[in-house]
Protein backbone atom coordinates (compact mmCIF):
# COMPACT_ATOMS: atom_id res chain seq x y z
CA UNK A 1 0.00 0.00 0.00
CA UNK A 2 1.23 3.47 -0.87
CA UNK A 3 0.24 6.61 1.08
CA UNK A 4 0.44 9.98 -0.64
CA UNK A 5 -0.52 13.47 0.50
CA UNK A 6 -2.65 15.09 -2.20
CA UNK A 7 -3.21 18.53 -0.71
CA UNK A 8 -2.91 20.59 2.46
CA UNK A 9 -4.98 23.66 3.30
CA UNK A 10 -4.69 25.05 6.82
CA UNK A 11 -5.70 22.19 9.13
CA UNK A 12 -7.09 19.95 6.37
CA UNK A 13 -4.89 17.32 4.73
CA UNK A 14 -6.13 15.11 1.89
CA UNK A 15 -4.41 11.73 1.63
CA UNK A 16 -4.70 8.98 -0.96
CA UNK A 17 -4.11 5.35 0.03
CA UNK A 18 -3.31 3.24 -3.04
CA UNK A 19 -3.73 -0.56 -3.03
CA UNK A 20 -1.86 -2.68 -5.62
CA UNK A 21 -2.85 -6.06 -7.07
CA UNK A 22 -1.39 -8.01 -4.13
CA UNK A 23 -3.30 -5.81 -1.69
CA UNK A 24 -6.49 -6.42 -3.69
CA UNK A 25 -6.07 -10.23 -3.43
CA UNK A 26 -5.70 -9.92 0.33
CA UNK A 27 -8.76 -7.68 0.57
CA UNK A 28 -10.75 -10.08 -1.64
CA UNK A 29 -10.06 -12.87 0.86
CA UNK A 30 -11.13 -10.70 3.80
CA UNK A 31 -14.30 -9.61 1.98
CA UNK A 32 -15.12 -13.24 1.23
CA UNK A 33 -14.60 -14.27 4.87
CA UNK A 34 -16.90 -11.52 6.08
CA UNK A 35 -19.58 -12.28 3.51
CA UNK A 36 -19.52 -15.92 4.60
CA UNK A 37 -19.65 -14.93 8.27
CA UNK A 38 -22.79 -13.00 7.46
CA UNK A 39 -24.08 -16.09 5.59
CA UNK A 40 -25.05 -14.15 2.50
CA UNK A 41 -27.37 -16.33 0.41
CA UNK A 42 -26.07 -17.36 -3.00
CA UNK A 43 -28.29 -19.80 -4.87
CA UNK A 44 -26.78 -23.27 -5.16
CA UNK A 45 -24.31 -22.86 -2.25
CA UNK A 46 -24.50 -23.49 1.47
CA UNK A 47 -24.58 -20.21 3.50
CA UNK A 48 -21.10 -19.50 4.83
CA UNK A 49 -19.39 -21.81 2.33
CA UNK A 50 -19.46 -19.72 -0.85
CA UNK A 51 -16.13 -19.62 -2.79
CA UNK A 52 -14.54 -16.26 -3.53
CA UNK A 53 -14.80 -16.72 -7.30
CA UNK A 54 -18.56 -17.23 -7.02
CA UNK A 55 -18.97 -13.97 -5.07
CA UNK A 56 -16.91 -12.18 -7.71
CA UNK A 57 -18.99 -13.68 -10.51
CA UNK A 58 -22.40 -13.07 -8.90
CA UNK A 59 -21.75 -9.65 -7.33
CA UNK A 60 -19.64 -8.36 -10.23
CA UNK A 61 -18.49 -4.74 -9.74
CA UNK A 62 -20.31 -4.55 -6.40
CA UNK A 63 -17.88 -7.08 -4.93
CA UNK A 64 -15.08 -4.53 -5.35
CA UNK A 65 -16.99 -1.26 -5.10
CA UNK A 66 -18.75 -2.21 -1.85
CA UNK A 67 -17.19 -5.18 -0.06
CA UNK A 68 -13.50 -4.92 -0.98
CA UNK A 69 -13.71 -1.14 -0.57
CA UNK A 70 -15.20 -1.57 2.93
CA UNK A 71 -12.28 -3.79 3.97
CA UNK A 72 -9.81 -1.25 2.59
CA UNK A 73 -11.51 1.62 4.44
CA UNK A 74 -11.31 -0.35 7.71
CA UNK A 75 -7.57 -0.87 7.16
CA UNK A 76 -7.06 2.84 6.53
CA UNK A 77 -9.00 3.74 9.69
CA UNK A 78 -6.91 1.28 11.76
CA UNK A 79 -3.72 2.81 10.39
CA UNK A 80 -4.94 6.25 11.39
CA UNK A 81 -5.82 4.98 14.86
CA UNK A 82 -2.28 3.66 15.21
CA UNK A 83 -0.95 7.06 14.14
CA UNK A 84 -2.97 8.61 16.99
CA UNK A 85 -3.77 11.60 14.82
CA UNK A 86 -5.41 14.49 16.71
CA UNK A 87 -8.48 15.40 14.69
CA UNK A 88 -11.09 18.06 15.38
CA UNK A 89 -13.80 16.11 13.53
CA UNK A 90 -13.80 12.40 12.56
CA UNK A 91 -12.00 11.11 9.45
CA UNK A 92 -13.91 11.88 6.25
CA UNK A 93 -13.78 9.19 3.54
CA UNK A 94 -14.25 11.38 0.50
CA UNK A 95 -13.81 8.65 -2.15
CA UNK A 96 -13.11 4.93 -2.58
CA UNK A 97 -12.57 3.28 -5.99
CA UNK A 98 -11.75 -0.42 -6.41
CA UNK A 99 -11.42 -2.97 -9.19
CA UNK A 100 -9.79 -6.37 -9.52
CA UNK A 101 -6.43 -4.74 -10.30
CA UNK A 102 -6.12 -1.75 -7.94
CA UNK A 103 -7.90 0.60 -5.63
CA UNK A 104 -7.67 3.95 -3.87
CA UNK A 105 -9.17 5.40 -0.69
CA UNK A 106 -9.14 9.18 -0.42
CA UNK A 107 -9.53 10.68 3.05
CA UNK A 108 -9.85 14.16 4.46
CA UNK A 109 -8.04 14.60 7.77
CA UNK A 110 -9.28 17.61 9.73
CA UNK A 111 -6.45 18.05 12.21
CA UNK A 112 -6.77 20.11 15.36
CA UNK A 113 -5.72 23.60 14.23
CA UNK A 114 -3.01 25.51 16.01
CA UNK A 115 -4.31 28.06 18.50
CA UNK A 116 -2.78 31.02 20.31
CA UNK A 117 -4.15 32.31 23.60
CA UNK A 118 -3.79 35.94 24.66
CA UNK A 119 -4.31 35.91 28.44
CA UNK A 120 -4.15 39.71 28.52
CA UNK A 121 -7.62 39.75 26.94
CA UNK A 122 -9.14 37.95 29.92
CA UNK A 123 -10.34 40.05 32.85
CA UNK A 124 -11.86 38.36 35.88
CA UNK A 125 -14.01 40.13 38.46
CA UNK A 126 -14.25 39.35 42.13
CA UNK A 127 -16.28 40.82 44.94
CA UNK A 128 -14.41 42.60 47.73
CA UNK A 129 -13.59 39.95 50.29
CA UNK A 130 -14.24 41.88 53.53
CA UNK A 131 -17.39 43.45 52.16
CA UNK A 132 -18.72 40.10 50.97
CA UNK A 133 -18.00 38.36 54.26
CA UNK A 134 -19.55 41.25 56.22
CA UNK A 135 -22.64 40.85 54.04
CA UNK A 136 -22.70 37.12 54.75
CA UNK A 137 -22.57 37.73 58.52
CA UNK A 138 -25.46 40.17 58.30
CA UNK A 139 -27.39 37.74 56.10
CA UNK A 140 -26.92 34.95 58.66
CA UNK A 141 -28.17 37.26 61.41
CA UNK A 142 -31.21 38.25 59.37
CA UNK A 143 -32.11 34.64 58.62
CA UNK A 144 -31.86 33.67 62.29
CA UNK A 145 -33.95 36.64 63.36
CA UNK A 146 -36.59 35.80 60.73
CA UNK A 147 -36.70 32.21 61.99
CA UNK A 148 -37.44 33.47 65.49
CA UNK A 149 -40.07 36.10 64.69
CA UNK A 150 -43.26 35.95 66.79
CA UNK A 151 -46.64 37.05 65.43
CA UNK A 152 -49.11 39.22 67.33
CA UNK A 153 -52.65 39.71 65.91
CA UNK A 154 -53.24 43.30 64.89
CA UNK A 155 -56.49 45.27 64.57
CA UNK A 156 -55.22 48.30 62.64
CA UNK A 157 -54.15 48.76 59.01
CA UNK A 158 -51.26 46.83 57.43
CA UNK A 159 -47.91 48.62 57.67
CA UNK A 160 -44.31 47.98 56.74
CA UNK A 161 -43.07 45.02 58.76
CA UNK A 162 -46.50 43.38 59.12
CA UNK A 163 -47.56 39.95 57.85
CA UNK A 164 -50.86 39.84 55.99
CA UNK A 165 -52.91 36.65 55.51
CA UNK A 166 -55.27 36.67 52.51
CA UNK A 167 -57.62 34.42 50.58
CA UNK A 168 -56.51 34.95 47.01
CA UNK A 169 -58.54 34.51 43.83
CA UNK A 170 -57.01 35.01 40.39
CA UNK A 171 -58.98 35.34 37.16
CA UNK A 172 -57.51 35.17 33.68
CA UNK A 173 -59.87 36.53 31.08
CA UNK A 174 -62.80 35.64 33.41
CA UNK A 175 -61.52 32.10 33.92
CA UNK A 176 -60.60 31.24 37.51
CA UNK A 177 -57.03 30.01 37.83
CA UNK A 178 -56.76 30.30 41.63
CA UNK A 179 -59.69 29.92 44.05
CA UNK A 180 -59.43 31.39 47.57
CA UNK A 181 -55.93 30.09 48.10
CA UNK A 182 -54.55 31.14 51.50
CA UNK A 183 -51.33 33.10 51.16
CA UNK A 184 -49.08 35.06 53.51
CA UNK A 185 -47.40 38.30 52.46
CA UNK A 186 -44.74 40.08 54.51
CA UNK A 187 -44.57 43.83 53.85
CA UNK A 188 -40.95 44.82 53.49
CA UNK A 189 -40.06 48.46 52.90
CA UNK A 190 -38.32 47.97 49.54
CA UNK A 191 -40.85 45.49 48.12
CA UNK A 192 -42.63 47.32 45.28
CA UNK A 193 -44.69 44.42 43.97
CA UNK A 194 -48.28 45.34 43.08
CA UNK A 195 -49.71 42.97 45.67
CA UNK A 196 -47.64 44.51 48.49
CA UNK A 197 -48.38 48.11 47.46
CA UNK A 198 -52.12 47.33 47.38
CA UNK A 199 -52.12 45.69 50.84
CA UNK A 200 -50.53 48.65 52.69
CA UNK A 201 -53.13 50.56 54.68
CA UNK A 202 -55.82 47.87 54.42
CA UNK A 203 -57.48 46.13 57.40
CA UNK A 204 -58.74 42.63 58.12
CA UNK A 205 -62.00 42.11 56.23
CA UNK A 206 -61.06 44.45 53.37
CA UNK A 207 -61.07 43.13 49.80
CA UNK A 208 -58.30 44.28 47.48
CA UNK A 209 -58.66 44.10 43.70
CA UNK A 210 -56.14 44.96 41.00
CA UNK A 211 -55.17 43.85 37.50
CA UNK A 212 -51.84 42.98 35.87
CA UNK A 213 -51.17 42.67 32.15
CA UNK A 214 -48.61 40.22 30.78
CA UNK A 215 -47.38 39.76 27.22
CA UNK A 216 -47.75 36.30 25.65
CA UNK A 217 -45.10 34.79 23.39
CA UNK A 218 -47.04 35.96 20.33
CA UNK A 219 -47.28 39.55 21.65
CA UNK A 220 -50.88 39.36 22.87
CA UNK A 221 -51.93 41.10 26.12
CA UNK A 222 -53.08 38.70 28.84
CA UNK A 223 -54.93 40.33 31.76
CA UNK A 224 -54.97 38.76 35.23
CA UNK A 225 -57.37 40.04 37.89
CA UNK A 226 -56.37 39.55 41.53
CA UNK A 227 -59.00 39.54 44.31
CA UNK A 228 -57.56 39.37 47.83
CA UNK A 229 -59.71 39.09 50.93
CA UNK A 230 -57.67 40.05 54.00
CA UNK A 231 -58.42 37.57 56.78
CA UNK A 232 -55.76 38.52 59.35
CA UNK A 233 -52.96 41.00 59.95
CA UNK A 234 -50.07 40.23 62.29
CA UNK A 235 -47.49 42.52 63.78
CA UNK A 236 -44.17 40.76 63.40
CA UNK A 237 -42.06 40.99 66.56
CA UNK A 238 -38.46 40.61 65.50
CA UNK A 239 -36.06 39.85 68.39
CA UNK A 240 -32.86 41.78 68.97
CA UNK A 241 -29.58 40.11 68.14
CA UNK A 242 -28.11 40.04 71.66
CA UNK A 243 -25.83 37.73 73.63
CA UNK A 244 -28.94 36.20 75.20
CA UNK A 245 -30.44 35.53 71.77
CA UNK A 246 -27.19 33.96 70.51
CA UNK A 247 -26.91 31.73 73.57
CA UNK A 248 -30.39 30.38 72.85
CA UNK A 249 -29.38 29.28 69.35
CA UNK A 250 -27.42 26.35 70.76
CA UNK A 251 -24.37 26.73 68.50
CA UNK A 252 -21.37 24.89 69.95
CA UNK A 253 -18.83 27.25 71.57
CA UNK A 254 -20.87 30.29 70.51
CA UNK A 255 -22.58 32.22 73.31
CA UNK A 256 -22.03 35.90 72.48
CA UNK A 257 -22.62 38.17 69.50
CA UNK A 258 -18.87 38.59 69.12
CA UNK A 259 -18.33 34.80 69.04
CA UNK A 260 -21.21 34.40 66.56
CA UNK A 261 -19.75 37.03 64.22
CA UNK A 262 -16.31 35.39 64.39
CA UNK A 263 -17.88 31.97 63.68
CA UNK A 264 -19.95 33.35 60.80
CA UNK A 265 -16.93 35.15 59.32
CA UNK A 266 -14.95 31.90 59.26
CA UNK A 267 -17.88 30.19 57.57
CA UNK A 268 -18.28 33.07 55.13
CA UNK A 269 -14.55 33.05 54.30
CA UNK A 270 -14.70 29.36 53.41
CA UNK A 271 -17.73 29.89 51.18
CA UNK A 272 -16.13 32.97 49.60
CA UNK A 273 -12.95 31.06 48.69
CA UNK A 274 -14.90 28.14 47.18
CA UNK A 275 -17.32 30.29 45.23
CA UNK A 276 -14.57 32.67 44.10
CA UNK A 277 -12.78 29.90 42.22
CA UNK A 278 -16.08 28.63 40.79
CA UNK A 279 -16.78 32.17 39.60
CA UNK A 280 -13.30 32.52 38.11
CA UNK A 281 -13.72 29.21 36.24
CA UNK A 282 -17.06 30.31 34.79
CA UNK A 283 -15.76 33.75 33.75
CA UNK A 284 -12.58 32.25 32.30
CA UNK A 285 -14.44 29.71 30.17
CA UNK A 286 -16.81 32.40 28.89
CA UNK A 287 -13.96 34.70 27.84
CA UNK A 288 -11.50 32.09 26.59
CA UNK A 289 -12.90 31.77 23.01
CA UNK A 290 -12.58 35.54 22.47
CA UNK A 291 -9.00 35.43 23.74
CA UNK A 292 -8.10 32.57 21.38
CA UNK A 293 -7.00 32.83 17.75
CA UNK A 294 -7.54 29.72 15.60
CA UNK A 295 -6.70 29.33 11.91
CA UNK A 296 -9.26 26.80 10.74
CA UNK A 297 -10.28 25.77 7.23
CA UNK A 298 -13.71 26.56 5.84
CA UNK A 299 -13.81 22.91 4.75
CA UNK A 300 -13.86 21.87 8.40
CA UNK A 301 -16.74 24.20 9.19
CA UNK A 302 -18.64 22.98 6.14
CA UNK A 303 -18.10 19.31 7.01
CA UNK A 304 -19.14 19.84 10.63
CA UNK A 305 -22.32 21.67 9.62
CA UNK A 306 -23.18 18.96 7.08
CA UNK A 307 -22.63 16.19 9.64
CA UNK A 308 -24.70 18.04 12.25
CA UNK A 309 -27.59 18.56 9.85
CA UNK A 310 -27.45 14.93 8.73
CA UNK A 311 -27.58 13.78 12.36
CA UNK A 312 -30.59 16.04 13.01
CA UNK A 313 -32.35 14.50 10.03
CA UNK A 314 -31.55 10.96 11.17
CA UNK A 315 -32.97 11.76 14.61
CA UNK A 316 -36.10 13.36 13.11
CA UNK A 317 -35.28 16.73 14.70
CA UNK A 318 -34.23 18.73 11.65
CA UNK A 319 -37.49 20.51 10.85
CA UNK A 320 -38.10 21.53 14.46
CA UNK A 321 -34.52 22.76 14.81
CA UNK A 322 -34.73 24.77 11.56
CA UNK A 323 -37.85 26.59 12.85
CA UNK A 324 -35.70 28.31 15.50
CA UNK A 325 -33.95 30.35 12.79
CA UNK A 326 -34.99 32.86 10.13
CA UNK A 327 -33.44 30.80 7.35
CA UNK A 328 -31.29 27.78 6.53
CA UNK A 329 -28.28 30.08 6.24
CA UNK A 330 -28.89 31.46 9.76
CA UNK A 331 -29.07 27.92 11.10
CA UNK A 332 -25.75 26.99 9.50
CA UNK A 333 -24.22 30.21 10.85
CA UNK A 334 -25.37 29.28 14.36
CA UNK A 335 -23.98 25.75 14.03
CA UNK A 336 -20.62 27.13 12.93
CA UNK A 337 -20.50 29.75 15.70
CA UNK A 338 -21.26 27.15 18.34
CA UNK A 339 -18.63 24.80 16.90
CA UNK A 340 -15.98 27.52 16.79
CA UNK A 341 -16.65 28.64 20.35
CA UNK A 342 -16.43 25.09 21.69
CA UNK A 343 -13.37 24.24 19.59
CA UNK A 344 -11.51 27.38 20.65
CA UNK A 345 -12.28 26.76 24.32
CA UNK A 346 -11.26 23.08 24.25
CA UNK A 347 -8.10 23.57 22.19
CA UNK A 348 -7.05 26.57 24.27
CA UNK A 349 -7.43 24.52 27.45
CA UNK A 350 -5.43 21.71 25.86
CA UNK A 351 -2.66 24.12 24.86
CA UNK A 352 -2.52 25.77 28.28
CA UNK A 353 -2.51 22.41 30.05
CA UNK A 354 0.44 21.29 27.93
CA UNK A 355 2.28 24.60 28.27
CA UNK A 356 1.97 24.65 32.08
CA UNK A 357 2.21 20.87 32.54
CA UNK A 358 -1.25 20.52 34.08
CA UNK A 359 -2.66 17.02 34.30
CA UNK A 360 -5.75 15.49 35.90
CA UNK A 361 -5.42 12.44 38.14
CA UNK A 362 -7.77 10.27 40.16
CA UNK A 363 -6.98 12.35 43.22
CA UNK A 364 -8.34 15.45 41.46
CA UNK A 365 -11.61 13.68 40.64
CA UNK A 366 -11.92 12.47 44.23
CA UNK A 367 -11.31 15.97 45.63
CA UNK A 368 -13.91 17.39 43.22
CA UNK A 369 -16.44 14.70 44.15
CA UNK A 370 -15.97 15.32 47.88
CA UNK A 371 -16.34 19.08 47.39
CA UNK A 372 -19.48 18.84 45.25
CA UNK A 373 -21.23 15.99 47.11
CA UNK A 374 -22.78 18.21 49.85
CA UNK A 375 -23.97 20.74 47.25
CA UNK A 376 -25.59 18.07 45.07
CA UNK A 377 -26.93 15.96 47.93
CA UNK A 378 -25.22 12.76 46.74
CA UNK A 379 -22.21 10.74 47.86
CA UNK A 380 -18.73 11.25 46.37
CA UNK A 381 -18.86 7.62 45.19
CA UNK A 382 -22.03 8.37 43.22
CA UNK A 383 -20.33 11.31 41.48
CA UNK A 384 -17.31 9.18 40.59
CA UNK A 385 -19.54 6.39 39.27
CA UNK A 386 -21.46 8.86 37.07
CA UNK A 387 -18.14 10.24 35.83
CA UNK A 388 -17.13 6.78 34.64
CA UNK A 389 -20.42 5.90 32.95
CA UNK A 390 -21.80 9.19 31.57
CA UNK A 391 -19.67 10.74 28.80
CA UNK A 392 -21.38 14.15 28.81
CA UNK A 393 -20.99 14.42 32.59
CA UNK A 394 -17.38 13.25 32.33
CA UNK A 395 -16.59 15.89 29.69
CA UNK A 396 -18.17 18.67 31.76
CA UNK A 397 -16.40 17.65 34.97
CA UNK A 398 -13.07 17.21 33.17
CA UNK A 399 -13.32 20.75 31.76
CA UNK A 400 -14.21 22.08 35.22
CA UNK A 401 -11.32 20.36 37.00
CA UNK A 402 -8.80 21.13 34.25
CA UNK A 403 -9.79 24.80 34.10
CA UNK A 404 -9.52 25.15 37.87
CA UNK A 405 -6.03 23.62 37.91
CA UNK A 406 -4.89 25.78 34.98
CA UNK A 407 -6.26 28.92 36.64
CA UNK A 408 -4.42 28.20 39.88
CA UNK A 409 -1.23 28.03 37.80
CA UNK A 410 -1.74 31.16 35.68
CA UNK A 411 -3.81 33.40 37.96
CA UNK A 412 -0.91 35.81 38.41
CA UNK A 413 -0.88 36.35 34.64
CA UNK A 414 -4.54 37.41 34.47
CA UNK A 415 -6.07 40.79 35.30
CA UNK A 416 -8.44 40.57 38.26
CA UNK A 417 -10.77 43.48 39.02
CA UNK A 418 -12.04 43.84 42.57
CA UNK A 419 -15.65 45.00 42.53
CA UNK A 420 -17.84 46.47 45.24
CA UNK A 421 -21.16 44.84 44.45
CA UNK A 422 -22.70 46.67 47.38
CA UNK A 423 -22.04 49.99 45.68
CA UNK A 424 -23.19 48.54 42.36
CA UNK A 425 -26.47 47.41 43.89
CA UNK A 426 -27.05 50.68 45.76
CA UNK A 427 -26.28 53.05 42.88
CA UNK A 428 -26.95 50.91 39.84
CA UNK A 429 -23.48 51.71 38.56
CA UNK A 430 -20.52 49.64 37.60
CA UNK A 431 -19.20 49.45 41.13
CA UNK A 432 -15.90 50.32 42.67
CA UNK A 433 -12.86 48.61 41.19
**What class has domain 257-427?**
mainly alpha
pLDDT of residue 41: 82
DSSP 8-state assignment for residue 64: I
| Mean of pLDDT values over 133-146 | 95
Angle at 36 between CA 92 and CA 69, to 5 degrees: 25
Per-residue pLDDT at 178 exceeds 90: no
Query: Which residue intervals of the chain bear CATH 1.10.3120.10?
Result: 257-427
| Mean of pLDDT values over 33-50 | 89
The domain 2-112 belongs to what CATH superfamily?
Trigger factor ribosome-binding domain (3.30.70.1050)
Query: Which residue intervals of the chain bear CATH 3.30.70.1050?
Result: 2-112
| Alpha-carbon span 88 to 271, nearest angstrom | 38
| Mean of pLDDT values over 310-326 | 95
| Mean of pLDDT values over 192-216 | 93
Q: Are 299 and 108 in contact (CB under 8 A)?
A: yes
Task: Give backbone dihedrals phi and psi of 237, rounded to 5 degrees, phi first.
Answer: -100, 105
Give me the DSSP letters along 122-153.
-EEEEE-HHHHHHHHHHHHHHHHHHHT-EEEE
With a pLDDT cut of 70, the percent of the chain lying above it is 97
H helices of 356-390, in order, are: 362-376, 380-389
Give 299-314 pLDDT, tens digit per residue. 999 999 999 999 999 9
| The architecture CATH gives domain 149-238 | Roll (3.10)
Give 259-288 pLDDT, tens digit per residue. 999 999 999 999 999 899 999 999 999 999
Per-residue pLDDT at 429 exceeds 80: no
| Mean of pLDDT values over 170-176 | 87
Is residue 372 very low, low, confident or very high in pLDDT (cuts 50, 70, 90)?
very high
pLDDT of residue 432: 39
Q: How high does pLDDT run on average in the chain?
A: 93
Q: What is the pTM of this model?
A: 0.74
Is residue 427 very low, low, confident or very high in pLDDT (cuts 50, 70, 90)?
very low
| Alpha-carbon span 18 to 291, nearest angstrom | 42
| Mean of pLDDT values over 28-45 | 91
| Alpha-carbon span 246 to 281, nearest angstrom | 37
Per-residue pLDDT at 421 exceeds 90: no
Per-residue pLDDT at 425 exceeds 80: no
Distances (CA, A) of 49 to 42, 53, 189, 392: 10, 12, 89, 45
Per-residue pLDDT at 254 exceeds 60: yes
Query: Which residue intervals of the chain bear CATH 3.10.50.30?
Result: 149-238
pLDDT of residue 215: 84
pLDDT of residue 187: 95
Distances (CA, A) of 185 to 146, 178, 190, 205, 228: 14, 16, 14, 16, 11
Helix (H, G, I), strand (E, B) or coil at 113: coil
Angle at 290 between CA 331 and CA 14, to 5 degrees: 65
Amino acid sequence: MEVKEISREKNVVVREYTFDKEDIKRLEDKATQNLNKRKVLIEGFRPGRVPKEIYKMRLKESFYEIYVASEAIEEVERMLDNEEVELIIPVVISDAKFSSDAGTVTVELHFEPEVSVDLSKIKLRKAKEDETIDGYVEFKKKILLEQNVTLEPKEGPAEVGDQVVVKERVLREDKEVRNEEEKNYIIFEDDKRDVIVNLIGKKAGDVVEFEKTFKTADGRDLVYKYILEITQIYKRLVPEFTDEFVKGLGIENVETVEQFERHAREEGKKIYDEELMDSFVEQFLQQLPEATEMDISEKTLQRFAEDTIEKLKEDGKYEEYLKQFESYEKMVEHINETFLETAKRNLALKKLAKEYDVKIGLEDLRAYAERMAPKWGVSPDKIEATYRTNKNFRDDVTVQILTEKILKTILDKITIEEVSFKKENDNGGEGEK
